[in-house]
Structure 1
Amino acid sequence: MRAAPSLLLVALLPLFAGCQLLAEKPQTETTAGMTRMQGELSAKGGQLLFKPCSESRYFAVVDSGNTGLLQEASALANEPGTLFADVGGNLSTSQIAGNDGQLNVQRLYRVEHSNSACSDPNFKRLTLRAHGNEPDWDLKASGKGMVLTRPGVPELAVPFLEEQLPDGRYNLSTEANGQRVDLWVAPQRCVDSMSGAVSHLSAELRVDGQTMRGCAYYGGSRSD
């Protein structure tokens, strides 16, 4: 289902008063009592609605965790296409007739335009995906190792070590195949410079001394 950009923008504007944008500094968050869910966003009757992937039910969105989802959805509504959201929260009964329930959002992992995110075959296997632009790079990490892809460079598939750091930050590193690769990740709102997609992690990739920046989000096998 496609969310009409103008409809989504107009319908949600009254909901933004008094809301807080996502913090720019790193934050630590708890996932206790939350369920991670992916689905499509649309607007109807002045509400933001969430339809879980592969379902036909619609849930009214309540940003109970002040994640900034309403603002992010409004900004992305200026572009056509299906609006996808990856969130943590819980479902409850709705106080407004016409919905199948209410989604209480407590954490925002990412929101983006995508027609294929609901059917991504790699999502459930990944612990992390990070990517950046200018130069383009894409890194996928899972229990089997990391795969780094860059245009014009042979794909690098190697094992890695993970180091937990203060304030929810961590580092993935490897020195396999004669290369030193470090990925530094921090819990900080990040906007993709090309697509406008918003994710909950900022990333910095260093390959043999070259530094590249980008955004990241947890894959389906990790949600802490």
Structure 2
Amino acid sequence: MSRCRILCLTGLSVMSALLACGCNPQSENASPSATAPAAPAGRIEFSGPLQEEASAESGLAIKRGIVTADGDHASYRACGDRADLWLLDEGEGALTQLLTEDLTSLYIEAYGERGPIPDNLTAAAGHAGVFLLEQLLYAAPTGENRGCERAPPDYVVTARGNEPFWAAEVTQTGMVWKQPDDPQEIRLGELQAEDVEGAVGYSARAAQHKVELQIEAQACRDSMSGEYFAYAARAVLDGREFKGCAHVGTQDAP
């Protein structure tokens, strides 16, 4: 079991931790509709913010980089770095599974730590060290502005789903809902956040609309892009329910 990144404390920023104390949030099947394990009482909030590995070597900091499959192993290169590290997947196998799907290069966000090459890992000779991946938070095929060149997100959390298409973005000042049908964009204020049965919930209102958004520590795959998310989302717009995946940004919750 990978080390959980949960701080069950009251009053933390929304980027502090969204995993339950001592639990493993990822189920065997990455289903956006599955229920995350219930968490102990206390404020449960997101981990982050995203930081470059060069500025935060701590295992508590989210690492960003490119994973490249090479035969029977994979290498990791942190964003902004030139050193290739031998990757050791000590998580729940989500990354290893992705690399078996003919995906040879992935941009990832993950918890993990850099370390020296163990004496018994002779196959890693020529690498600058090892990257011990503890938990995969996000992964996407490189390209299409999904890699290290992507600008850091300026939201608290974003969520989206397909069939029907929808997206919700939470910022410090409110929430924006987007959909193909009219109204295509709804801007909502009066943002409130609370922990809801082991998840983080947000609600916001506009003159004629209300959106409730719940983010759970549950593995999720985008059915169209193939992106992997550590968080699943459930949204309710004016009584209509939507399901999808969620991604943590760099802002703190209000």
Bigger helix share: 1
Stretch deviating more after TM superposition (88-97 or 60-69): 60-69
Deviation at 1:163, TM superposition (A): 0.9
- Cα distance, 1:184–1:215 mapped onto 2, change above 3 Å: same
Q: Does 1:145 align with 2:174?
A: yes
Aligned length: 196
Q: Does 1:162 align with 2:193?
A: yes
Deviation at 1:207, TM superposition (A): 0.5
Q: Does 1:220 align with 2:246?
A: no
- Cα distance, 1:47–1:220 mapped onto 2, change above 3 Å: farther
Q: Distance in 1 between matches of 2:251 and 2:115?
A: 25
Q: Does 1:88 align with 2:111?
A: yes
TM-superposition CA deviations, 1:53-92 (whole Å, max 9, x none) = 2322212211223352211232251xx8x52111111111
TM-superposition CA deviations, 1:168-206 (whole Å, max 9, x none) = x12111122320101111111111111222111111111
Residue 172 of structure 1 aligns to a residue in which SS? strand
Runs of 4+ in 1 over 3 A off after TM superposition: 27-33
Residue identity in the other structure for 1:23? S
Deviation at 1:131, TM superposition (A): 0.7
Q: Which residue of 1 aligns with 2:215?
A: 185
Q: Distance in 1 between matches of 2:171 and 2:93?
A: 26
Q: Does 1:57 align with 2:68?
A: no
**Greater length-normalized contact order (CA 8 Å, ≥ 6 residues apart):** 2
Residue identity in the other structure for 2:171? S
Residue 177 of structure 1 aligns to a residue in which SS? coil
Instruction: Please tell me whether the aligned partners of residues 174 and 204 of structure 2 are also in contact (alpha carbons under 8 angstroms).
Output: no
Q: Distance in 2 between matches of 1:59 and 1:35?
A: 18
Q: Does 1:134 align with 2:134?
A: no
Instruction: Please tell me whether the aligned partners of residues 34 and 106 of structure 1 are also in contact (alpha carbons under 8 angstroms).
Output: no
Q: Which residue of 2 aligns with 1:44?
A: 70
Instruction: Summarize the alignment of residues 28-43 of structure 1 with structure 2, pairs less than 5 Å apart.
Output: 33-43=59-69
Q: Distance in 2 between matches of 1:86 and 1:55?
A: 15
Instruction: Please tell me whether the aligned partners of residues 188 and 206 of structure 2 are also in contact (alpha carbons under 8 angstroms).
Output: yes
Scaled by the length of structure 1, the TM-score of the pair is 0.77
Residue identity in the other structure for 1:205? A
Q: Distance in 2 between matches of 1:156 and 1:190?
A: 25
Q: Distance in 2 between matches of 1:112 and 1:99?
A: 24
Instruction: Please tell me whether the aligned partners of residues 109 and 138 of structure 2 are also in contact (alpha carbons under 8 angstroms).
Output: yes
- Cα distance, 1:89–1:76 mapped onto 2, change above 3 Å: same
Q: Distance in 1 between matches of 2:102 and 2:169?
A: 25
Unaligned runs of 5+ in 1: 1-21
Unaligned runs of 5+ in 2: 1-25, 29-34, 48-57, 119-123
Give identity over the alignment, percent.
24
CA RMSD, aligned part only?
Answer: 2.5
Residue identity in the other structure for 1:155? E
Instruction: Please tell me whether the aligned partners of residues 49 and 59 of structure 1 are also in contact (alpha carbons under 8 angstroms).
Output: yes
Residue 218 of structure 2 aligns to a residue in which SS? coil
Bigger strand share: 1
Choose the corresponding residue for 2:241, options 208, 211, 214: 211
